[in-house]
Amino acid sequence: MTQIAGHLLLLVGLAGCTGLDRDNTNCEWPQEIAMSFEVRGPALQRHLSDDALVAEDLAIRYADSHRGTRSGDFEGFTEYRRTRDECMTALFSTIATSHGVTSERVRESLVRRRTGLDAAVILSFAVLYGFAADRLARRLSRRFPLDDGWSVALLATFVTAVAMSFIGVLLGEQWSVAAEVIRVGNSHLSYRTFRIPWVQHREKLFVGGLFLFWLVAVLRYRACTRATGDPGPEASDSGRSNRGSNGRARSATR
């Protein structure tokens, strides 16, 4: 399962490559072949979105280099944001001219994320979370068996699920941020962190983590019960029938 998660995350990193020079810190857009966006298909829509994301990253790099806290010319965050936004506007204008669209349309394409990539990140972490939940649920089933009482087992499972899901949300967010850093090729995400789906849906992911842990715990307790040889109602009826037959046999012998 860990191999699957690794492969999914690798795909995320590879899919983020656009072939454009992200090391450019002069607020200059690489030369491309001009093409009309309006008369092309979905492939160019994805291309436009990729261009907008790269332009945004170039503007952040440009501001970091010229007005960032480590640039030597830091004059406050207001000046930093102004430098970043001016560069971004200029790059968006270049992209718009190249593809025959408006600058506003280029800016709007920033929020168009690739669902498949985001799903890969979330599912890869869910695999790791499920593996950890199974290991923990196995220990719970041995430490608090149902023979000692259902209430104790339920309470232990509930408390553990809450703690596990809370930690999972925190770790999953770091997992998503790391994937985003790989995808954009820049450790300074800035406000882009808030566009990551995991960050936008923490509460839903917490609830999902609870249900996933409870499901794994139920399956683990069932497996543990079968392993200990719990007779169950059918086995009990069969046992009583066998004892009755043995009793009649002894009476007939006497």
For 144, phi and psi rounded to 5 degrees? -125, 70
Question: Count of domains in the chain?
Answer: 2
Residue 179 lies in a domain: yes
Residue 10 lies in a domain: no
CA dihedral 120, 122, 123, 124 (to 10 degrees): 80
Are 226 and 156 within one domain? yes
Are 26 and 78 within one domain? yes
Sequence-distant (≥ 6) Cβ neighbours of residue 1 within 8 angstroms: 127, 128, 130, 131
Distance CA 138, CA 134 (A): 6
Residue 172: Cβ within 10 Å count: 23
Residue 3 lies in a domain: no
Are 129 and 196 within one domain? yes
Residue 141 lies in a domain: yes
Domain end position, chosen among 111, 139, 171? 111
Domain end position, chosen among 64, 87, 111? 111
Are 179 and 210 within one domain? yes
Domain end position, chosen among 111, 130, 163? 111
Per-residue pLDDT of 194-209, as tens digits, reads 999 999 999 999 999 9
Per-residue pLDDT of 173-192, as tens digits, reads 999 999 999 999 999 999 99
Task: Give the pLDDT band (50/70/90) at residue 112.
Answer: confident
Residue 149 lies in a domain: yes
Residue 99 lies in a domain: yes
Residue 238 lies in a domain: no
Per-residue pLDDT of 7-16, as tens digits, reads 454 444 444 4
Are 154 and 48 within one domain? no
Query: What HEC string does the chain produce?
Result: CHHHHHHHHHHHHHHCCCCCCCCCCCCCCCCCCCCCCCCCCHHHHHHHHHHHHHHHHHHHHHHHHHHCCCCCCCCCHHHHHHHHHHHHHHHHHHHHHHHCCCHHHHHHHHHCCCHHHHHHHHHHHHHHHHHHHHHHHHHHHHHCCHHHCHHHHHHHHHHHHHHHHHHHHHHHHHHHHHHHHHHHCCCCCHHHHHHCHHHHCHHHHHHHHHHHHHHHHHHHHHHHHHHCCCCHHHHHHHHHHHHHHHHHHHHHHC
Residue 61 lies in a domain: yes
Distance CA 118, CA 121 (A): 5
Average of per-residue pLDDT across 42-60: 89
Token digits for 15?
């899919």
Task: Give the pLDDT band (50/70/90) at residue 38.
Answer: low
Residue 12 CA, chain-centre distance (Å), reads 11
The larger pLDDT score, comparing residue 111 to residue 44, is at: 111
Are 186 and 208 within one domain? yes
| pLDDT over threshold 50, residue 248 | no
Per-residue pLDDT of 148-161, as tens digits, reads 788 999 999 999 99
User: Could you tell me the residue range of the domain that residue 83 belongs to?
Assistant: 17-111
Mean pLDDT of the chain: 82
Are 67 and 86 within one domain? yes
pTM, full prediction: 0.75
Are 93 and 123 within one domain? no
Are 101 and 129 within one domain? no
Are 96 and 153 within one domain? no
